[in-house]
Structure 1
Amino acid sequence: MQSVQDQQDIIQKVREVLDKYEARLGEINQKIWSKPELAFEEHSAHDNICALFDSLADEGYVVKRHAYGVETALEISYTHGKGGRVVAFNAEYDALPGIGHACGHNLIATSSIASFLATAEAMKALYSDKIGFSARLLGTPAEEGGGGKLHLIDGGAYKGVDACFMVHPFPVLSGAPDLLSSSSCTGQYLANDKVEVTFTGKPAHASAAPWEGINALDAVVAAYVNISMLRQQILPTQKIHGVVLRGGERPNVIPASTTVDYYIRSETKKTLKPLTERVLKCFEAAAMATGCTVEYKWDAAYTDMKNNRPICDSYTSAMNVMGYSTILDAVGQEGGLSGGSTDMGNVSYEVPGFHGGFYIHTEGVNHTPHFTAGAGSEESFKRSLYCAAGMAVVGCRVLADDGFAKAIKADFEKDP
Structure 2
Amino acid sequence: MGGIADGFVVVNHDEANSAIKDAPPNLSDISATVDGLAADLWPVNKMIHDNPEFGFQEIIAHHTLTLFMRSKSGWKVFPSAYGMATAWVAEFDTRRKWPVVFFNVEMGGGGKIKLLQAGAYKDHNVDISLMSHPGIVNDCALMRTAAYTAFTMEYFGREAHAAANPWQGINALDALITAYNALSVLRQQTMPGDVIQGSITNGGVCPNITHAYAAGNFVVRADTQARLEELKKKVDACFQAGATATGGSLKMTTTQSYADHVPNRVLGDAYRRYFNLLSPPHLIPENDDIDEIRGRTTASTDQGNVSYAMPSLHAGFSIPPGSGGNGPHNPEFAEAAGTKVAFERSLRVAKAPTGVAVDVPSQNGLLEKVKNEWKREIQQSPKNDPARPPH
Could you state the TM-score of these two structures normalised by the residue count of structure 2? Answer: 0.85
Aligned match of 1:43: 59
Aligned match of 2:130: 165
Between the aligned partners of 1:382 and 1:364, the Cα distance in structure 2 is 20
Q: CA deviation at 1:78?
A: 0.7
Map residues 11-410 of structure 1 onto 2, 5 A cutoff: 11-56=27-72, 59-82=73-96, 84=97, 133-141=98-106, 143-144=107-108, 146-159=109-122, 160-171=125-136, 181-185=139-143, 188-324=144-280, 325-328=282-285, 338-362=297-321, 363-410=325-372
Percent identity between the aligned chains? 32
Between the aligned partners of 2:79 and 2:213, the Cα distance in structure 1 is 41
Q: Which runs of 5+ in 1 are unaligned?
A: 85-132, 174-180
* Secondary structure class of the residue paired with 1:301: strand
Between the aligned partners of 1:406 and 1:139, the Cα distance in structure 2 is 26
1:361-406 CA-to-partner distances (Å, cap 9, x unmatched) read 1132221111111111110000001000011011100121132111
Could you state the TM-score of these two structures normalised by the residue count of structure 1? Answer: 0.80
Q: CA deviation at 1:46?
A: 0.8
Q: CA deviation at 1:256?
A: 1.1
Between the aligned partners of 1:66 and 1:74, the Cα distance in structure 2 is 5
Q: CA deviation at 1:338?
A: 2.2
Between the aligned partners of 2:239 and 2:56, the Cα distance in structure 1 is 30
Between the aligned partners of 2:23 and 2:101, the Cα distance in structure 1 is 22
Q: Is the 8 A contact 1:241 1:262 kept in 2?
A: yes
**Letter paired with 1:255:** H
Between the aligned partners of 1:399 and 1:407, the Cα distance in structure 2 is 11
Between the aligned partners of 1:337 and 1:154, the Cα distance in structure 2 is 27
**Letter paired with 1:183:** A
Between the aligned partners of 2:312 and 2:293, the Cα distance in structure 1 is 22
Q: Which runs of 5+ in 2 are unaligned?
A: 2-13, 382-391
Between the aligned partners of 2:235 and 2:24, the Cα distance in structure 1 is 52
- RMSD, aligned α-carbons: 2.0
1:150-209 CA-to-partner distances (Å, cap 9, x unmatched) read 101101122221111111111165xxxxxxx21134xx3100011110111111222222
User: CA distance change for structure 1 residues 383 and 49 in 2, over 3 Å: closer, same or farther?
Assistant: same
Between the aligned partners of 1:265 and 1:294, the Cα distance in structure 2 is 22
Between the aligned partners of 2:80 and 2:364, the Cα distance in structure 1 is 34
Q: CA deviation at 1:348?
A: 0.5
1:241-298 CA-to-partner distances (Å, cap 9, x unmatched) read 1111111121222211111111111111122112111111111111111111111111
Larger radius of gyration: 2
Aligned residues: 351
Between the aligned partners of 2:249 and 2:242, the Cα distance in structure 1 is 9
1:31-89 CA-to-partner distances (Å, cap 9, x unmatched) read 11111111211111111111112222xx111111111111111111112215x2xxxxx
Q: CA deviation at 1:7?
A: 5.4
**Letter paired with 2:309:** E
